[in-house]
Chains A and B, each alone.
Chain A
Amino acid sequence: MQTTPISAALTRKLRRLGPQLAALFAILALITLISPGFLSITVQNGRLYGSLIDVLVRAAPVALLTIGMTLVIATRGIDLSIGAVIAICGAVAASLVADGYPLVAVLVAVTAVGLVCGLWNAVLVAFLDIQPIIATLILMVAGRGIAQLITEGVILTFNNDDFADIGSGALFGIPVPVLLWLATGLLVGLLVRRTALGFLIEATGINRRAAMLAGVQARFLLIFVYAVSGVMAAIAGLIITADIRGADANNAGLWLELDAILAVVIGGTSLNGGRFSITASLIGALIIQSINTGILVSGFPPEFNLIIKASIIIVVLTLQSPALGFIGGFLRPPGNAGQPIGKASAEPRAGEKAGTTRTDRAPTTFSTQERTS
C-alpha cells in the first residue's frame, strides 16, 4: 500500500466521504441562508466563539459515542447501553468531585467505570453469544437505575472549576470538548487503521465464523470494540456532567445512543457490519448537531423541531440510498456500476479496483460470500 500515490489515496478518501461532506455543507449553507451570521466566528475571552463553534462543542458527546459505535457496528453489533453508561459515569464523576477527590483520580475512576460497562456488554456478546441488541439493552435499562442510585435521585451538583473546564473550558482558544473528540477520534482512527485491527474488525463483522476459521480472534475483537464504546461513553459522560456542573441521572445521555447510531448510518457504515469509516461517522455526528443548532438559531417554533430534523435526515439518507445509486451511476466515472443492493452506503466503488488503501481493504473474498449466517 505504500506504493499507492498519496494523491490517489486522498482522492479515494474524498470519494468515500463525498456524500457526507456534501450533505454537511448543504445543511450549513441552508442554515446560513436562514440565519446570516451563523458562520461568523470571533474570539471572545480568549476563546473561539460563534454558532459554528457551538456545533463542534455540542457535537462532542455524540461524536465520541459515534467513534465507539462505528467499531461496534462494524462487527455487526450494536450498543444501546451508551446513553445509560453516560448517566452512570456522570453520576460517578459528580459524586467523586463533590467528595473532593483530585481530578486525575476522578478521570481514571470514571474511565474505569466506562470500561467495566463496556466489558460487561462484551462478555454477554462475545462469550454468552447473546444478540448485541438484547445484551446491551440490559445495561440500557439497568444503567439509568444504577445512576439514580448513585445520585439518590437528585441532580448531584458540585463546585469545581477544574473539572467544569472539561465541559466548558478552552485550551489555546479551542473548547476542551472539541479537542477531546478530535483527539480521541484521531487516536482510535490511527489505532484501527495503522494496525490490522480495523481490517480484522471488518472481517469479523462480515462473517464472524469465516473470520474465526481464518484464524481471527473474533472474541478479542468483540471485547475490544465494546470496551472502546464504553470508554467513549465515559468521556462523553465527563463532558456532559462538567458542562452543567451536575449529574442528572434522568436526562444525561438520554437517547444519545440513537443519535450515535444515526450518525454511523449517515456516515455510510452498514448496520450489517463490515467496512466502516470513523471519519464519515464523525461527519454524520456533525450533520446531526448542525441540524440541532440550526433549528435553534433559525427561530422556528419548537413544534417543528422534530419534523425539520426528520425531513433533512430523510433527504440525506435518500441521497445515499443504493436504490438511487443507478441515477448517480450516470454521473460517476466509469467502473462505478454494480452497487450491491442492501448496502446502506453510497460508497463509490470506483476506487476499489485499486483496492489497496486501508479504507478499501475490505476482504473481497469475504464480501462475495457475505452475510450467509
Chain B
Amino acid sequence: MRQVLATIAVAFTLSLASSVSAQSLTVGFSQIGSESGWRAAETTVTKQEAEKRGITLKFADAQQKQENQIKAVRGFIAQGVSAILIAPVVATGWDAVLKEAKEEKIPVILLDRQIDAPDSLYLTAVTSDQVHEGKVAGDWLVKDVGSKDCKVVELQGTTGSSPAINRKKGFEEAIASHANIKIVRSQTGDFTRTKGKEVMESFIKAEGGGKGICAVYAHNDDMAVGAIQAIKEAGLKPGTDIKVVSIDAVPDIFKAMAAGEANATVELTPNMAGPAFDILAAYLKDKKEPKKWVQTESKLYTAKDDPMKVYEAKKGLGY
C-alpha cells in the first residue's frame, strides 16, 4: 500500500542529465521510485556521479512497479543507450527483458538489489552486504565496551524483511565470541521513529528504568532517533548512559551524533552508481567481464568523523 501511495505522491519524471559532452556515454537508469529518503538520495547521487563523469543519464522512475521498469528498459534499448542501470523492485521476472538487452549488446548493471536470473544476463550487481553491515555495528560495540559486561537491547526492522534478518544475523555473529555482550531484549520497531520510541520506552521500563541497559542496537537510524528521545524522556543520557549504534547513516543521526546522543552508525551508501560507472568504463575499455557481485563499502561513522560536516554534506541529497 505504501508503495501505491508513494506512487501517487511522485509525479512521473523523466529527466535528462543536463551536461552533455560530445563523445560521452549515454546510460539509462531505471529507479524503483522514491519510497524512502535513502532511495531519493540514491537518485540524487546517481545523477551527480553521472554528471561528474560527463555521462548523459536517462532517468526513469518506475513508481514501484516492475512493468514500468521493464517498459523503461525497453525504451532505453530502443534509444540505443550504451548501458543500463536497474535498481530492481522485485527479484523475479527479469529474464526476457535482460535477454533483449543482451541481444543488443547493452551491458546491464544492477544496483542495490540482486535478482533471480542467470548471471550471464547482466554485467554485475553493485549492492551492500546487509550481514556485513550488522557485523560492522557489532564489531564497533565489541571494541567500545572492551571486557565490560554489556546488556544490549535490539530494535529490529520490520519482522521478516531481509534487512531485519541480515542485520540481526551480522550483529549476532560479531558479538558471538564475546560472552560479556548479550542481547537481552529484541523487538521490532518497524523501521519507524514512532515505533522505535515506543519499543525503547517499554524496554527501559522492563529493564529496571534502563539502568541495566548498556547499549541499544537499531537496524536503522530512524528507530535509533526514536530510541534516543525515549532515553532522554526517561531521564537518562543517550550516548553516555545508553550507547546508541545503528545502520544507514541518514543525515539526522549525524545531528544526534554531534550532540553526543548517538555513538556510531554504519553507512548504507547511496552511491551505488559511482562504482557501477567505474566498472562500466573499465568494461567498455578492455571488454573484460567484472566480478558478478561488487560489494559497496559499509563505512562506520563515529563522533570522531566530524558528524556536523557529514550532516551538511548529506543534507542536500534528498534523504
Chain A residues near B (Cβ < 8 Å):
35, 37, 44-45, 49-51, 54, 58, 141-142, 144-146, 148-149, 153-155, 157, 168, 240, 243-246, 248-252, 254, 293, 296-297, 299, 301-303, 305
Could you show 25 A-B contacts with beta carbons less than 8 Å apart? A35-B206, A51-B205, A54-B201, A142-B8, A144-B5, A144-B9, A145-B6, A148-B10, A149-B9, A153-B6, A154-B318, A155-B252, A168-B229, A240-B194, A243-B197, A244-B194, A251-B193, A296-B187, A296-B199, A296-B203, A297-B206, A302-B159, A302-B186, A303-B159, A305-B159
Determine which of B2, B185, B187, B233 lies in contact with A250 in the assembled complex, contact meaning CB atoms within 8 Å: B2
The digit string for B36-49, where 1 denotes a CB below 8 A from any CB of A, is 11001000000000
The digit string for B212-244, where 1 denotes a CB below 8 A from any CB of A, is 000000000010011001000111000000000
> Is the pair B8, A141 in contact by a Cβ cutoff of 8 Å?
yes
The digit string for B1-37, where 1 denotes a CB below 8 A from any CB of A, is 0101110111000000000000000000000001111
> Is the pair B187, A153 in contact by a Cβ cutoff of 8 Å?
no
Q: What residues of B have a CB within 8 angstroms of the CB of A51 in the complex?
A: 202, 205-206
Q: Knowing A153-B40, A254-B2, A296-B199, say if A54 contacts B205 (CB, 8 Å).
A: yes
Q: CA A346 – CA B65 in complex, angstroms?
A: 46
How many interface residues does chain B have, given as a range? 35 or more
Nearest neighbor of A301 in chain B, beta-carbon distance: B186
> Is the pair B206, A299 in contact by a Cβ cutoff of 8 Å?
yes
Distance (Å) between the CB of A153 and the closest chain B CB?
A: 6
Kindly identify, within residues 167 to 210 of chain B, every residue whose CB is under 8 Å from any CB belonging to chain A.
Answer: 185-188, 190, 192-194, 197-199, 201-203, 205-206
Distance (Å) between the CB of B22 and the closest chain A CB?
A: 35
Q: CA A301 – CA B156 in complex, angstroms?
A: 10
> Is the pair B198, A141 in contact by a Cβ cutoff of 8 Å?
no
Interface: B319 (CB within 8 A): yes
Chain B residues near A (Cβ < 8 Å):
2, 4-6, 8-10, 34-37, 40, 156, 159-160, 185-188, 190, 192-194, 197-199, 201-203, 205-206, 222, 225-226, 229, 233-235, 252, 318-319
Q: What residues of A have a CB within 8 angstroms of the CB of B225 in the complex?
A: 244
Q: CA A299 – CA B4 in complex, angstroms?
A: 34
Q: Knowing A148-B5, A148-B9, A299-B185, say if A153 contacts B37 (CB, 8 Å).
A: yes
Q: What residues of B have a CB within 8 angstroms of the CB of A252 in the complex?
A: 194
Distance (Å) between the CB of A43 and the closest chain B CB?
A: 12
Question: In the complex, which of the residues A45, A142, A154, A302 has the most CB atoms of chain B within 10 Å of its own CB atom?
Answer: A302
Determine which of B9, B40, B156, B233 lies in contact with A168 in the assembled complex, contact meaning CB atoms within 8 Å: B233
> Is the pair B37, A155 in contact by a Cβ cutoff of 8 Å?
yes
> Is the pair A296, B6 in contact by a Cβ cutoff of 8 Å?
no
> Is the pair A246, B8 in contact by a Cβ cutoff of 8 Å?
no
> Is the pair A297, B202 in contact by a Cβ cutoff of 8 Å?
yes
Determine which of B10, B206, B319 lies in contact with A154 in the assembled complex, contact meaning CB atoms within 8 Å: B319
Nearest neighbor of A299 in chain B, beta-carbon distance: B185
Q: CA A38 – CA B186 in complex, angstroms?
A: 18
Distance (Å) between the CB of B222 and the closest chain A CB?
A: 7
Determine which of B4, B34, B188, B192 lies in contact with A302 in the assembled complex, contact meaning CB atoms within 8 Å: B188
Q: Knowing A244-B229, A254-B2, A305-B188, say if A154 contacts B40 (CB, 8 Å).
A: yes
Distance (Å) between the CB of B254 and the closest chain A CB?
A: 13
Q: What residues of B have a CB within 8 angstroms of the CB of A144 in the complex?
A: 2, 5, 8-9
Q: CA A301 – CA B160 in complex, angstroms?
A: 12
Q: CA A37 – CA B209 in complex, angstroms?
A: 11
Q: What residues of B have a CB within 8 angstroms of the CB of A251 in the complex?
A: 190, 192-194
Q: What residues of A have a CB within 8 angstroms of the CB of B159 in the complex?
A: 302-303, 305
Q: What residues of A have a CB within 8 angstroms of the CB of B201 in the complex?
A: 54
Q: What residues of A have a CB within 8 angstroms of the CB of B222 in the complex?
A: 155, 248
> Is the pair B202, A293 in contact by a Cβ cutoff of 8 Å?
yes
Question: In the complex, which of the residues B35, B159, B186, B190 has the most CB atoms of chain A within 10 Å of its own CB atom?
Answer: B159
Q: CA A168 – CA B203 in complex, angstroms?
A: 17
Q: CA A114 – CA B182 in complex, angstroms?
A: 46
Distance (Å) between the CB of B164 and the closest chain A CB?
A: 9
> Is the pair B252, A157 in contact by a Cβ cutoff of 8 Å?
yes
Q: Knowing A44-B235, A145-B5, A250-B2, say if A302 contacts B205 (CB, 8 Å).
A: no
Distance (Å) between the CB of A74 and the closest chain B CB?
A: 27
Given contacts A148-B6, A157-B252, A299-B185, 9 further A-B contacts (CB under 8 A): A50-B205, A246-B193, A248-B193, A250-B5, A250-B36, A251-B194, A254-B2, A296-B198, A303-B159
Q: Knowing A154-B40, A248-B193, say if A297 contacts B205 (CB, 8 Å).
A: yes
Q: What residues of B have a CB within 8 angstroms of the CB of A49 in the complex?
A: 234
